[in-house]
Structure 1
């Protein structure tokens, strides 16, 4: 597999998407191929049938490989599901020498310390995201590297998930014959793909409405402040239509996509859709007004839960106000009049987010659909990881060269020189390795 390409694998409740991308010369992401398959064996973002999930992953991967004519070996995968929760945590380290400059290593020590937090049984830390730092009691420091100080403190946004769910995702990928390059929280991936830096600075809530879950990520001052996964999505809307109109799921889904609206006032009483009955039965007639009433009731419920989470973050405080409002993405965001309904319930500006912020200009229109926001974000994540590895490999090479030079000198002078420090691994690589070890031991 070419080292300049990355593969994002979005294991969703309704679909599994494999997307292959690379950076073009302008630093934008070019999508080379995409494959999608119906997701069987995933319920509300959590794998509950490994065999079916493996088959779906393989189908999507094969389709993407055929489209891009490259062989896929490793993937960056997204994780979501109702077991995800996030918490705020503060921690500090005392530095041995306050007269030296704070460097990456100090921050790593601090992050690794947070990783040792005792979680509830069966939980594992997925991300540790520093919010802001304090040095010797001086607060609101965005970038501590290069400053002096003895006590380095930080508040962290810690994302936690169930070990078993994370392990199952890993197992599916391993059994599908792939390597796990990294794991990313899905709302973070979607946010990478659809939000601009200005929005993250001003304060914005990203709402990714999928089939089984609705993911939320809140940003303010360019930093992630809150994440949540709500276990409802487009699937429950379809369920409601199926129950309310006594029709089969396939028809309910089509009805929702073709005629569904989140705003009942839009439809006249006399607008009727006729649905063919099951074998030998009369066709059913459904008024669009009733259809949108069913959809409206469920969407209101989802949006209200999201709004509770946004308030939990503290949106009502002046300092924490989300000026850029809400951005909707994911397949569920394509529901007619959803934007108006969200604005009506929350009183916040709302737009639909398309993942074209970082894509090359000539990208296919299908790819820039909100459906693929998470997949695009995962590809970007994979590319970022690779760049980091390249830099680290380069540093290691330089260090080895230096050591060899020193050794040659030493032989000449017979002096002892201490070797330079090895570069430290980034937190994501450490996590991926931990998950890998974990899987190897779990076999």
Structure 2
């Protein structure tokens, strides 16, 4: 099987690292070829804090995925989250040089490139520039301006920003695990691809992905991304609360949460107890399930209050911005019993649990049905989209040029730009096989995604360091 036939999503989470290998079948659904899962060591609240442990965890997950799929894994699409992620709204415009010609992809890219030049806080980097709506001259609320005529092209953007240091650490871990990063994607956007429907995105919906270290939020309205954020609390802090509140070890606290935990104490009986084995000959400990639920409830309510704050920041309670489809809870933390009922009460919106197997064709044993696989399947879907774009390039448009001449031209251009203190503009083949060098026509047809553009910057950084 050739590498082009399949894709890989790699979810580097706080509690687990998951690698999923898959391809698209004849009916457009995803056929899973293999899954690898390993305990995540070296990641705290979505941020890598131990390089060597994270590399080993990635290797373990990828090795298991390779064995089950029977194919080698070289390129992966990776998710990014963490408390360093923030977003902002920004409007910008360009004056077109040739207003007599209709608007093309090049004009859109020129406008996005201008937004990417925004001055961020020290150490920050723009990850995604997501257009929301366009305005051509005096005509506003345009969703697709390509093909229209006008001299002034304006747009509102949702800009996602993250710490460059965290991005470099993820890139280094993936690279030293023997892999190539195909793209970098914000995790709540990946999760939304796996669990949300087109109707929900149009009606207005908030996806709340409760992971081990963070809770990621993405809000859609009129099929447009409106708001994203990362709350630095997840299922891990609930386990920590149980550990401290019941004076037990972390392993037993996690088992209590998964098997007997509830988000609503009123639904638990006072007379129901669970026995925890004592340590090294010490007596067993009995814990009331109602007491356990009270500990869990306090932390879950805090997380949901923060979710409510983000909903209010977006304006979800205004009539025009109202989320008709409510909330979709996903991630491993959404497995908590009675969480949906508490979310309904706390936020005032109807909610459902988002399962990740809607687009999966061969999940007969329902292994991937759990919401904890939403992000990894979403990353796989993003990787498949990249492969689809690459395979849809017309072959007659791809012209191979001489590699040496191209390298020399890039070197000269780099030297000139450095002398003029200007940013270096080099051509990188994004969608063509490594053996081919893209022509200007192919470059126009195969524009890189924002995640891939960011990865090129990261690669360049490492090359300079080395």
Normalising by structure 2, we get a TM-score of 0.89
Instruction: Tell me what 1:427 maps to.
Output: 449
Which runs of 5 or more residues in structure 2 are unaligned? 402-439
* Contact preservation (8 Å) 1:78, 1:185: yes
Aligned counterpart, 2:4: 3
Distance 1:257 1:395 in 2: 56
- 1:14 equivalent in structure 2: 15
Cα deviation for residue 434 of structure 1 reads 2.1
Q: Deviations over 1:33-67 (max 9, x none)?
A: 00000000000000000000000000000000000
Query: Secondary structure of 2:103's match?
Result: coil
Cα shift at 1:264: 0.2
Contact 2:261–2:296, Cα closer than 8 Å, also in 1: yes
Q: Which residue of 2 aligns with 1:353?
A: 354
Structure 2 partner of 1:289: 290
Report the equivalent of 2:408.
none
Cα gap change, 1:275 to 1:422, in 2 (>3 Å): closer
For residues 157 and 34 of structure 1, the distance between their equivalents in structure 2, rounded to whole angstroms, comes to 33
**TM-aligned CA distance change 1:362 to 1:245, over 3 Å:** closer
Query: What is the Cα deviation at residue 379 of structure 1?
Result: 0.3
- Cα separation, 2, equivalents of 1:266 and 1:152: 56
Q: Report the alpha carbon displacement of residue 236 of structure 1 after superposing the two structures with TM.
A: 0.5
- CA distance in 2 between partners of 1:137 and 1:435 (Å): 39
Asked if 1 retains the 8 angstrom alpha-carbon contact of 2:82 and 2:230, the reply is yes
* 1:269 paired to 2:270: yes
**Whole-angstrom distance in 2 between the partners of 1:363 and 1:20:** 16
The residue that corresponds to 1:408 in the other structure is: none
After superposition, the CA RMSD in angstroms is 1.5
Say which SS state the counterpart of residue 31 (structure 2) adopts.
Answer: strand
Contact (CA 8 Å) 2:188, 2:207: kept in 1 or not? yes
1:392-411 CA distance string (max 9 Å, x none) = 473641698xxxxxxxxxxx
Indicate the residue corresponding to 2:461 in structure 1. 438
Q: Separation in 2 of the partners of 1:299 and 1:125?
A: 31
Distance 1:373 1:427 in 2: 21
CA contact (8 A) 1:4 1:383 kept: no
| Superimposed CA distance per residue, residues 128-163 of structure 1 (whole angstroms, 9 cap, x where no aligned partner) | 000000000211000001111100000100000000
Give the conservation status (yes or no) of the 8 Å contact 1:94–1:150.
yes
CA distances 1:385-435 after superposition (whole Å, capped 9, x unpaired): 1122233473641698xxxxxxxxxxxxxxxxxx86851523333233222
Distance 1:90 1:288 in 2: 52
| Residues 70 and 301 of structure 1: CA distance in aligned 2, closer, same or farther (over 3 Å) | same
2:32/2:362 contact within 8 Å kept: no
Deviations 1:358-404 (A, max 9, x none): 2215554011210100000000000111122233473641698xxxx
Q: What does residue 208 of structure 1 align with?
A: 209
* Cα displacement (A) at 1:348: 0.2
Give secondary structure in 1 for the equivalent of 2:106: helix
Distance in structure 1 (CA, Å) of the matches to 2:318 and 2:120: 30
1:50-89 matches, within 5 Å, as 50-89=51-90
Give 1:305-384 correspondences, 5 Å limit.
305-360=306-361, 362-384=363-385
Structure 1 residues 94 and 11 mapped into 2: Cα distance closer, same or farther (>3 Å)? Answer: same
> What is the number of residues matched between the two proteins?
425
Give the match's secondary structure for 2:368: coil
Find the aligned partners of 1:373 and 1:422 in 2 and give their Cα distance.
33
Query: Do the aligned partners of residues 143 and 364 (structure 1) sit closer, same or farther apart at CA in structure 2, a change above 3 Å counting?
Result: farther
Which is worse superposed, 42-51 or 269-278?
A: 269-278
| Residues 84 and 162 in structure 1, CA contact (< 8 A), matched pair in contact too | yes
Correspondence 1:23-422 to 2 at 5 A = 23-360=24-361, 362-392=363-393, 394=395, 396-397=397-398, 422=443
Mapped to 1, the partners of 2:48 and 2:275 lie a distance apart of 36
Are the aligned partners of 1:29 and 1:360 in contact in 2 as well (CA < 8 Å)? yes
3-state SS, counterpart of residue 97 of structure 2: coil
User: What do residues 266-312 of structure 1 show as CA deviations (whole Å, max 9, x unaligned)?
Assistant: 11111011111111211111100100000000000000101100110
TM-score, normalization by structure 1: 0.93
1:413 matched residue in structure 2: none
Which 4+ residue blocks in structure 1 deviate beyond 3 angstroms?
A: 361-364, 391-396, 419-422
Please give the alpha-carbon distance, in whole angstroms, between the structure 2 residues aligned to 1:372 and 1:440: 34
Q: Residues 261 and 422 of structure 1: is their aligned pair in 2 closer, same or farther, counting only changes over 3 Å?
A: closer
- The equivalent of 1:409 in structure 2 is none
